[in-house]
A and B are shown apart, each in its own frame.
Chain A
Amino acid sequence: MTLSSGMQHRSPDRVAVTGRILEGYPKEQRYTLAMLQDIQKEFQFIPRESMELIADHLELPLGKIYSLATFYKALSLQPKGKHVIKICDGTACHIRSSQMLANELYTLLKIRPGETTGDGQFSVELVNCLGACAIAPVVVIDETFYGKVTPAKLQEIIAQYGDAPEQSERSGGVAHD
């Protein structure tokens, strides 16, 4: 699977799914963010065609939607992996060596924060305090919290989510330029 960034062809699937999501909301600008959140949840990123559809739907310029979609960290323009690994880098986790976890993850999956494995299985993100400092350092995969994580433990955890790809190709990168 290639996870190309930038221009995507309009996929009829995405158009249909986005359409269904938009139908659930009144045609009002204040629902833009909620629509984007639903779309992120559905596709693990915000496809261009979805943004265009929102713009049409709300009769707003595309720039408005694009501005929102690039502002929030919870929204992403790059396709995210099937499993999103969040490494907490808040103060407590940071002093308890969250950076080592990021390095370990790089050894395991060959991806750095903001990137996705070539097979689309994993994405990794560095996030701010998750409110679980007592069990720092914290790693969250999808919705599951893991506390007091060590590099060795991280390896075991990742293994539960399928095999780490051998020499995976990288894609994505930080969504900014």
Chain B
Amino acid sequence: MKIVIDGKVCEAERGEYLLTVARREGIRIPTLCHNDALPGLASCRLCIVEVVEKGWHKVVTSCVYPVSAEIEVFTASEKILRMRKTLIMLLAARAPENETIGKLMQEYGLEKPDRFKKENSSDCILCGLCASACEKIGAGAISTVHRGVTKKIATPFDDPAADCIGCAACASICPTGAIKVQDKSGTRQIWNKAFELLICPDCGKPVVTREQAEYLRKQMQGNPIEYSGDGTVRCERCKKAAAADRFRTAFL
């Protein structure tokens, strides 16, 4: 079906998310909590757009709005810009020192509010992407804890996460870089827990944590991680190089 986004006629499948269509057409809608692999959170509200259907206007979150009719969409109408600015200011109230939020404020010409205290500031905007990534992976080591003003993302009892395998997927998916992960001298530190990093025997680069390798081995029969005889794992690069070597010796 055909929809019009910011004056541009776009082809869309029925049921496709509006954000997906816009992105395919190169129309930028700001998002924080959206990840193609984990759609459906819709917690940051930044991706709001104005939809006009049969003369009716409504504001929807484009990341979870399925296209079902021939609509017209405005991603930056006056109303949307006004609302989006408010949303950014609310996010800024929570994470005033955060770089990503800072950039958004700059983009929208917003001044940093001075009435919010730095002491209670955090980088986390509580979107929940990290927890759903962790759950999707199957570890479920972190979750949202408490609610209201005390809500936070944490491990049970703030203990070193028992279920954590140290994959750091949460840290890499976080839109604001709020989760601290430190890789230093063969050890990864995340969620109050230290993990041994397995080193590639060929190039010496850290590859994955031991727990992560074990987990992958258990999850997938066709083990995607190549163990050498001594229990070490190769990094992607050296694995390819080794495969190329084998290929060369076999055929050339």
Contact = CB atoms under 8 A, between A and B. Distances in A.
- The main secondary structure of chain A at its interface with chain B is helix
Contacts, number: 41
Contacts of A6: 157
Contacts of B143: 61, 63-64, 66-67
Interface in B133-170: 135, 139-147, 150, 155-157, 162-163
Contacts of A48: 157
Contacts of B146: 70-71, 176
Given A67-B143, A67-B144, A62 B156 contact: yes
Chain B, interface size: which category?
Answer: 10 to 19
A60 B224 CA distance: 26
A61 B140 contact: yes
Interface string B163-187: 1000000000000000000000000
Given A6-B157, A48-B157, A51-B156, A62 B162 contact: yes
Contacts of B131: 63
Interface of A: 6-7, 48, 51, 60-67, 70-71, 176-177
A176 B152 CA distance: 10
Given A71-B147, A176-B150, A66 B157 contact: yes
B19 to A, nearest CB: 27
B150 A62 contact: no
B150 A63 contact: no
14 contacts: A6-B157, A7-B157, A61-B140, A61-B163, A62-B162, A63-B131, A63-B155, A63-B156, A65-B156, A67-B144, A70-B146, A70-B147, A71-B146, A71-B147
Interface string B192-234: 0000000000000000000000000000000000000000000
Contacts of B144: 67, 71
Contact of A70 (B139, B142, B145): B145
Contacts of A64: 140, 143
Nearest to B161: A63
Given A67-B143, A67-B145, 4 more contacts: A6-B157, A61-B135, A64-B140, A71-B146
A6 B147 CA distance: 19
Nearest to B155: A63
A63 B147 contact: no
A62 B145 contact: no
B122 to A, nearest CB: 13
A7 B160 CA distance: 13
Contacts of B155: 63
Contacts of B139: 61
Given A70-B146, A176-B150, A61 B157 contact: no
B157 A60 contact: no
Contact of B142 (A51, A63, A65, A176): A63
Task: Identify which of A51, A70, A71, A176 gathers the most chain B CB atoms within 10 Å of its CB.
Answer: A70
A62 B155 CA distance: 9
A71 B156 CA distance: 13
Contacts of A66: 143, 145, 156-157
Contacts of A70: 145-147
A66 B152 CA distance: 12
A6 B163 CA distance: 19
Nearest to A66: B156
A145 to B, nearest CB: 27
Contacts of A65: 156
B11 to A, nearest CB: 40
